Structure formats: structure tokens, C-alpha cells
Amino acid sequence: MPLFCRNPDFFSLDWRGGRPLKTDTADFRYSMNFTAEEHARFLTMFEQSGLQSKARFIKARVFGDTFRVIKTDDGTLKFGDKLTQFYSQFRAVGTNYNQVVKQLHIQFSQKNALNLLGKLEELTAELYAVGCRVIELSEEFCRRWT
């Protein structure tokens, strides 16, 4: 008889890997049937709740948890999309800025490079002002609409 068969702990579940076993498992399941109208109403309520799982939504409703409704505004979504696009463009400008400065030092003489860097510095100040204005408008939008 092999040695592992004589070991009483061989068949215990402690030696296996994986996630720890749950102490309080959800073993009780219920089923329900909806009419077409009830199903449409259920789906509408589920979508408004913002939860990811229908089971969690049903549990929350059965046990009286708060029912929150998330409403989306198309204007707010568009503003968020445009702000995200602007931010990505802003980052691209920063990357290009670094590349331009490196090329100025490589390609031009010291005098020409300093002259062009001065112009670039003025444009950077304008870009900074635009960025500050965008931040102000975003904060005003948040105060007004949230």
C-alpha cells in the first residue's frame, strides 16, 4: 500500500490550491416568471439602478436596500467626451514640445535656437492660459450641474 494512502490528511481539502472556500455559501435559489409587460418594467428598473448584476438588483429590492436611479444627460456625456479628447490632444502637444526642443538644439545654431525657443515660450504661455481656462470652465460646470 502506498505511503500517501496511509496518511489520513491526504484526502483533506487543505492541500489543494485555489481560492479559500466560502464559509457562508448562497445555496438557496428562487425562480420567478414575468409577463412581457413585467419583464420590460423589470429591465427598465434594473438599467436605472446602475448595478451590474440582476441577482444583486433583485436581492437589494427584496431586502429593502435603497434603490438609486442614475440618469444620464447627453450634454454632460458630450462634455466629458470633448474634455477627454482635449486632454489627449494636450498630452500630444506636450510630447511634441519635448521633441521640438531637442530638434532645435540639434539642428540650429545656439543663437537661432534661443530665438526660436523664445517664440516657443510665448506660445507655451498662451497654451498654459488656455489650459487654465479649461480647468476653470470644468470646475464651473461641476458646481453648476452636480
Overall average pLDDT of the 91-116 stretch: 84
Same domain, 67 and 78: no
Quick check: is 59 in a domain? Answer: yes
pLDDT tens, position by position, 28-83 = 888 889 999 999 988 888 888 878 888 888 888 888 877 666 667 777 778 878 88
- Show the domain range for 129: 74-145
Unique residue bearing C-alpha cell 485555489:
18
Same domain, 48 and 99: no
Total H helices, total E strands in the chain = 5, 0
Same domain, 86 and 133: yes
Same domain, 106 and 56: no
pLDDT at 103 exceeding the cut of 90: no
Same domain, 140 and 95: yes
pLDDT at 1 exceeding the cut of 50: no
Same domain, 91 and 62: no
Same domain, 137 and 80: yes
Look up residue 45 and give its three cell numbers: 428598473
CA 97 → CA 56, 94, 106, 140, distances in Å?
49, 5, 14, 29
Quick check: is 22 in a domain? Answer: no
What pLDDT is attached to residue 35?
Answer: 92
Same domain, 79 and 141: yes
Q: Torsion over CA of 121, 127, 129 and 131, rounded to 10 degrees?
A: -140
Same domain, 79 and 104: yes
Same domain, 85 and 54: no
Higher pLDDT, 94 or 9: 94
Quick check: is 15 in a domain? Answer: no
Same domain, 51 and 63: yes
Quick check: is 17 in a domain? Answer: no
